[in-house]
Amino acid sequence: MPTTGESGEKPARGRRADARRNQEKLLAAAAAVFTASGVDAPIREIAARAGVGTGTIYRHFPTRADLVVAVYRHQVEACAEAGPTLLAEADSPFGALRQWVDLFVDFLVTKHGLANAMQSDSGGFEALHAYFLDRLVPVCARLLDAAVDAGEARPGTHAYELMRGIGNLCAGRDDDPRYDPRRLVELLLRGLRRPRPS
């Protein structure tokens, strides 16, 4: 099957797929830079990591807030889509939950500073927060329910509670280099885990 037309150009579907891959690469680069340097990192740093010019970034995302929101949504989608995959592939439902929590913590670290970047649009931030809850709470609930049903987790914890608790443990991570939220999240998960019968 030919992949180019008479003019030698790719068909529209191929161009769209390339554009989507390029945008995902750009968003992944921005997420990595935001994680390392915060959401105020220079755009040229993101462009260098993505292997594009700064003009390419501004063409897709005219303002920093546009880029931050796109990274946020991209990270939410990646976290949401990982849940069912982990549940299907992990050794146990609790193992899937643990791996998903690691991704969720990564997301929270990337999300750090979003509120400041969105100060000029509080309505937009509220809409993003609702989107975050709508996409991720059901995924966490499915993983948690599977772990409870398998007898690997204690019943009675709600997904929203667990996510809120993890979020609180991740808050203030940058304020104190001695503080490691992952260690405390691990303690939280140990408390959630039901002991194996001796």
Mean model confidence pLDDT for the chain: 85
CB 117: neighbour CB atoms within 10 A? 21
Phi, psi at 193, each rounded to 5° = -70, 135
Phi, psi at 35, each rounded to 5° = -65, -45
pTM of the full structure: 0.79
pLDDT in tens, 113-163: 565 555 555 556 778 888 999 999 999 999 999 999 999 999 999 999 999
CA gap 198, 191 in Å, rounded: 17
- Output the CATH code of domain 10-62: 1.10.10.60
Tokens of 60: 């897709």
The domain limits of the chain are: 10-62, 64-198
Contacts of 198 (CB under 8 A, 6+ apart): none
Q: What is the mean pLDDT of residues 39-43?
A: 87
What ranges in 51-170 are assigned the alpha helix state H? 54-60, 64-89, 93-111, 114-117, 122-149, 159-170
Identify the pLDDT of residue 2. Answer: 45
64-198 architecture in CATH? Orthogonal Bundle (1.10)
Q: Which amino acid is at 107?
A: F
pLDDT in tens, 92-117: 999 999 999 999 998 887 675 565 55
